[in-house]
Amino acid sequence: MTPRPMAEANRVTRILQLFEPESAKRFPIDVKQLALDYSRQLFPDEPITDIRSLAAQGFEGMLVRHPSGKKWLIAYNDGVRSKGRIRFTLAHELGHYLLHRAARDKFECTLKDMYDWDSVASRRNVIEVPPGSLLNSSSQTPGGYRATQQANLWFPNESHQTPLIELVHVSEGDYPYTLGLLLLPDADPHWDRSDDEEVGSLDGKLGFGST
């Protein structure tokens, strides 16, 4: 089964919460240790075994499978001053490992890749923006936009009578981006049961709850 971004994110969040219930103490997350421990426990046949710094112009991060096929390495640019930026890059490469490692043996991410939604390794290829969404408008100039849609445009389990509000912010500059926020004011949660079952099985696999 193809890994789903939301399911993987929920799984990681659940495990982090089990280790540290208080969010104030949970952040900032040690992404290096998370990647090493998480992959070793859940994917012992091909874990991430090494995370190292690499200084190179235009380079942000990299995920590489060892020639043996039995382990992975994450590299990141240590020339970046922001620790938050480094954590973002490490989390980005961890995301490639969790979602895409079956498709490729190597992911090289430049600064452009981090912000280019049309690149091969981009999030658009993972979470498709549905036709009709305000996010799909190609004529937007910088500024804020708002639209009311049917909730099942994004969430198939919701009724077509449930409204959804899309808020979109378009920014230019050195790091242009489009930010979208989806609001379901009156919706009841409709979680995918398989996600919950997967999380529960992982709790047991990691040995949570045992002393």
User: Averaged in consecutive runs of 10 residues, what is the pLDDT profile of the chain (211 residues)?
Assistant: 75 83 77 94 95 81 92 90 87 91 87 52 54 77 85 79 85 70 64 43 40 37
> According to the model, what pLDDT value does residue 139 have?
65
Q: What pLDDT does residue 90 have?
A: 93
Kindly report each contact of residues 189-198 with a partner whose C-beta sits within 8 Å and lies 24 or more positions away, as own/partner.
190/155, 190/157, 190/158, 192/7, 192/157, 194/7, 195/4, 195/6, 195/7, 195/10, 195/11, 198/7, 198/11
Q: What is the pLDDT of residue 136?
A: 79
Contacts 24+ apart (CB under 8 A), 124-132: 126/5, 126/99, 127/5, 130/154
**CA 48, CA 62: separation in Å to the nearest integer?**
12
The predicted pLDDT at position 13 comes to 85
**How far apart, in whole angstroms, are the C-alpha atoms of residue 119 and residue 129?**
15
Classify residue 52 as exposed, middle or buried by CB count within 10 Å of its CB (0-12, 13-18, 19+). Answer: exposed
Q: Residue 205's Cα: distance from chain center in Å? A: 22
Domain boundaries, the chain: 5-125, 134-183
Tokens of residue 113, six digits:
């890749």
d(C-alpha 85, C-alpha 157), whole Å:
35
Helix or strand or coil: residue 154?
A: coil
Structure tokens at 72: 């992975």
- At 114 the pLDDT is 55
CA-closest candidate to residue 154, choices 179, 136, 169 = 136
Q: Say how far residue 143 (Cα) sits from the centre of its chain.
A: 25
Q: Are 46 and 101 in contact (CB under 8 A)?
A: yes
Q: What pLDDT is recorded for position 129?
A: 79
How far apart are alpha carbons 16 and 19 in whole angstroms?
Answer: 5
For residue 111, the model assigns a pLDDT of 66
Here the tokens at position 150 are 């049917």
Q: Which two tokens stand for residue 21?
A: 């219930």
Give phi and psi for 110, each to the nearest 5: -90, 175
Angle, CA of 70, 73 and 77, to the nearest 5°: 170
